[in-house]
Amino acid sequence: MIELQKVAHSYGGGELFADVTLALSPGGFFFLTGPSGAGKTTLLKLLYGELSPSAGQVRLFGTPLARMSRDDIAFARRRIGVVHQDCQFLDHLSLAENVALPLTVAGATTAEADADLDELLAWVGLDTRADALPPALSGGERQRAALARAVIMAPDVILADEPTGNLDWDMSLRLLTLLVELNRMGKTILIATHDLALIRAAKSQITARVLRIAGRRLQTAGAEL
């Protein structure tokens, strides 16, 4: 679905990582770990085409990124849901309107949008908060809203960047449960995280591949996780 072949990326005059080869298979569940500054967020940006590699090749759904036009990349991104670390919302719009923005941009009809939105907000447990403005949301509510926004276009792949970084353990497990449910529906999931306890909790429920960026290379993490 998304492939990196011998990819390198340089930042600030130095090489962040190199020789990274990775294939996100349909229905796979992946964790990406590594120390701060190792390049986890950068790797995610390569996976959804926001950045281009300094060497190697990125393929989005079978097509080399280098051969794709802006429109091609925009269309491919409809198949990729991204949960960003900073959970940015438009503060003047309600939670429901923020979650529905991808549908609005894609030109969905009001009836279609309303039906999908109601079901999705109920699934993430935010149906009673639909009219709330972002400043009034708790950290857990913001992260669940970010996940809802990422999946409202029914993407094939969900990439989550430290989605539980600012949450307590109970809310982290609740968010993990939602991601596991998506995986069981056939979605490919990749979570970048520092939280080894979260990885252990996931591996008690599903088969997950754990990857680590270390020494400017992508490695398979050891069994101690």
| Domains in the chain, CATH or no CATH each | 1-79+156-225 (3.40.50.300), 90-154 (no CATH)
Distance CA 114, CA 134 (A): 19
**pLDDT tens profile 118-128:** 889 999 999 99
Confidence of residue 141 (pLDDT cuts 50, 70, 90): very high
Q: In this predicted structure, what is the pLDDT of residue 113?
A: 65
> Quick one: which of 172, 223, 181 has its CA closest to 206?
181
Q: Which letter does DSSP use for residue 152 in this model?
A: T
Whether residue 83 is predicted with pLDDT greater than 70 in this model: the reply is yes
Q: Structure pTM?
A: 0.92
Q: 146 Cβ partners below 8 Å, 6+ apart?
A: 83, 84, 87, 163
Question: Who wins on pLDDT, 96 or 222?
Answer: 96
What is the C-alpha to C-alpha distance for residues 150 and 44, in angstroms, rounded to an integer?
Answer: 14
Show the tokens assigned to 96.
Answer: 């429901």
Task: Identify whether the C-beta of residue 17 lies closer than 8 Å to the C-beta of residue 196.
Answer: no
What average pLDDT does the segment 192-205 reach? 92
CB within 8 Å of 221: residues ≥ 6 apart: 31, 33, 210, 211, 212
| Residue 224 banded pLDDT, cuts 50, 70, 90 | very low
The pLDDT value given to residue 110:
59
Instruction: Determine the Cα–Cα distance for residues 116 and 184; give it in Å rounded to an integer.
Output: 19
Q: Which residues contact 179 (CB under 8 A, 6 or more apart)?
A: 147, 158, 160, 163, 189, 191
At residue 51, the pLDDT reads 93
Query: Considering the chain, what is the average pLDDT of its residues?
Result: 90
